Amino acid sequence: MAHFKNRQTMRNITLILLGFIFLILWLIVGFPLEINDLKADRFLTIIVSLLMAGFIFMIFRLVTRVKLKIIKIVFLISLIGITLIYLLNGLLTYFISYDKGPVWEDRQIYTNQKGQKVVSQFRETSGSIYDYRERLIFYEFSNGNKVSIDWTKDRMHGIWKVKDIKKDSIYIENFDKNK
């Protein structure tokens, strides 16, 4: 326990834990910008990937400075696990969108009385494998780019107007009735 009396060690452990929280939240919430232009999307993806790699490396440097071996091993294993998830996610995203660019299609747009907007999206991952997601939109630019985070229909309450893009129809859905 003498290792915890060192202020620098406690500072490093706190920074490591905050770094882990940030990395995990980033995985859960997703990247907040949706870019429709292929070149801009590629450029932004490379910049964000380099920043995340640098951030992970900074956490690694902090982990190597922890003196208590058991905590250092736990942190290293955790960091390796998180890094592998980021690496696999990055490779999967790259191979899915290599020749098509950004592939998420808006399918349904939900709007409530408060003006909140949730977009239900779809993409063809491979042949007959499809991905679906919902995104809470904070801001939508005139060119279709969006600032948004991952969302679920479980978080939606009340009455929402739904615009079904594929069917070109509008209807009302009450999410409180479904629960």
The whole-model pTM stands at 0.73
> At a CB cut-off of 8 Å and minimum separation 6, what does 24 contact?
82
Rounded-to-integer distance, Cα 135 and Cα 124, Å: 17
Helix (H, G, I), strand (E, B) or coil at 176: coil
Interval 62-93: pLDDT, tens? 999 988 899 999 999 999 999 999 888 877 77
Interval 28-41: pLDDT, tens? 887 888 887 777 87
Closest CA to 23 of 66, 78, 99, 102: 78
Give the CA distances from residue 141 to residues 119, 146, 161, in Å, rounded to whole numbers and listed in that order: 14, 6, 21
